[in-house]
Each structure stands twice: as structure tokens, then as C-alpha cells.
Amino acid sequence: MQHANVSAPSSIDTRPGLSGEDLLAAYLTRLAATGRGNVVYERAARNFFRTWPNPQAWAAQPLTDPLAADNQTRPVITFLMLHHGFRPGYDYLLERKLSSVWREIDGSPLETEIDRFLTASENLGFSMRVRLATGSQVPIRLLIQTGRGIADLAQSDLDEFAAACHERTQRTGINHPHYLAAISNTQTVLFHLGIVNSLPRCGGPIPFQERLAQVTAPLREEIIGYLERKKATCQTKTVSVLATRLKHFGVFLATIDPDLSSIAGLDRRRHIEPWLSSLLDTVSDKDGQPISIGDRNRRVVA
């Protein structure tokens, strides 16, 4: 493998559908082959498979439970992810740094897949730093979650991953510029491999779907419909400004009432008055300063 400094261990049988006992045996074999077997890891693995003979059931728990796994258990979880043992969900994968992935991927089913991606990235002129950063941030997670090879990925997989990033931003307030950049790099590589049909968008207006990604889906579609109709009577720049102001309102609604399914369901006391009150404490995305009285008024009028 391009990144490896040691010879990779032999591939281990972890076909889908193997029992917990078979997966445990495969993991212990892996530990022995890499010279990292010890009593602590073995005990943690036995406890894990005793409790979760079907690892996918472990992944189906509320997110806080998988994230609470201790340091002795995480190696077996990484092993399962890289050997098609389960698909943990993008919410979990975005919380894990996967710092050991370049060591653990050797000899796994994902090794040849990620090698193909890294080779194509190098041929396109990406530096080693960018290749490895992109590879560990997006393609690895796509391969783990989809259970498919590089050649079988699709634009919808990239879109789903981007949506998961936006959802996490909405849930935690943490932005993901590095992931979004890596998604763009990944799409570029997949395009040149003939796997997706288009390059990432570069410049020009950002589509409404992307601009309003943090708004819940039902409200997003209603807002986009409204903006599309406004194009008939307003200049493009005016509609773009409206989109920005309505985005702020939509994100606010997604925060205080994520179950709201229609603009028609807006209530003065539950939604409108709290929105007006929130504007007093709202700060600008550009400079972090409180927005002006004029800006407050414009957001209300929109």
C-alpha cells in the first residue's frame, strides 16, 4: 500500500453474515499477525462479542452508547468497520477520528479500494498530505458505510455524506469545512475514474438545496418553491438575498421545532415571537458582532 512502511498481513476472512464467534476468531488472528495481541485487547473483544454477537445491533444503539466504548474496545470496532463487520452510520463515523486507519487498513478488504483512490489522486496532482487527508476523511467512511467498492459509489453517496455533515453542524454547532473540502476532492477523483458524472461545482450561485441544507426538509422545499416563484418578479440578486434571510428563519425553526412540517403550521407564540426575540441576540456570520436594527428589520420583512 502506498502509505505503508511494513508488509501487510494476510487477508482475513470476514465475509458478511459471519457469526460473532467467527468474527472474534478473525480479530484474534489479526492481532497475532500484527504482533499486537495482548490479554487486555483479547478480553475486551471477548466481552464485546459476548454482548453483541451481531455487531450491527451494537451500531443501532443511540449514538452516545457506541461513542462510550473504551480504549480497549475501540480496536475491535475499527477492525469490524474495515472488514465489513458492520455499518455504524455516518453520525458515528463523523465523531471518530479514525487516527489508526492507515495502520489498520493493511490486509483488509478496503486496502485495494483505497489504494485505487490514492493512486488516482496522485495522478491528478494532489499532494501526499491532501491525498491522505482526503482518503481518511471521506472515501474510507463511504466504503465503510456503503459496504461497496470504489467503483460502485455514486453521487448520492457523496450527497448523503454531505447531508450528514450538515446535520451534525445543526446538532452540535460545529462546522465541517475540512470534510466539505474533502468531499469536493473525492468527487473530483471519482469523476476522473469515470465513477460519477460531474465535477464538483466551482463558482457561480450556490443551489438553494445546498444553501438551505440546515433547514428541515419539508420547510426547505416550501422555501425553495417560494424563491423559485420570486424569480419571475425579482432580480437574481434580490432572490439570493431573500434566500439568505429565509435561511436564518428556517434554521431557527429547525432548532426550536424540528418536527414542524409546514409553513402553514407556524404559530405566533411558539414560533414568530421567539424568532423576533432571538434577533436581539443574533450576531453576524461575517464579524461576530450583533446585527444592526436595519438587518433585524430586513430579516423580519423577508
Task: State the pTM of this model.
Answer: 0.66
Could you read off the pLDDT of 128-151 as tens digits, one per residue? 999 999 999 999 999 999 999 999
Residues 11 and 121 sit within 8 Å (Cβ to Cβ): no
Distance CA 220, CA 214 (A): 9
Regarding predicted confidence, which is higher, 37 or 230?
A: 230
Q: Where are the alpha helices (DSSP H) in the chain?
A: 20-34, 39-51, 55-59, 64-67, 74-82, 90-95, 101-104, 111-123, 128-137, 139-146, 155-172, 177-192, 208-211, 217-230, 236-256, 273-278, 293-301
* pLDDT band of 260, cuts 50, 70, 90: very high
Regarding predicted confidence, which is higher, 20 or 49?
A: 49
Regarding predicted confidence, which is higher, 299 or 55?
A: 55
Could you read off the pLDDT of 154-213 as tens digits, one per residue? 999 999 999 899 888 878 878 778 898 999 999 999 999 999 999 887 655 678 888 898
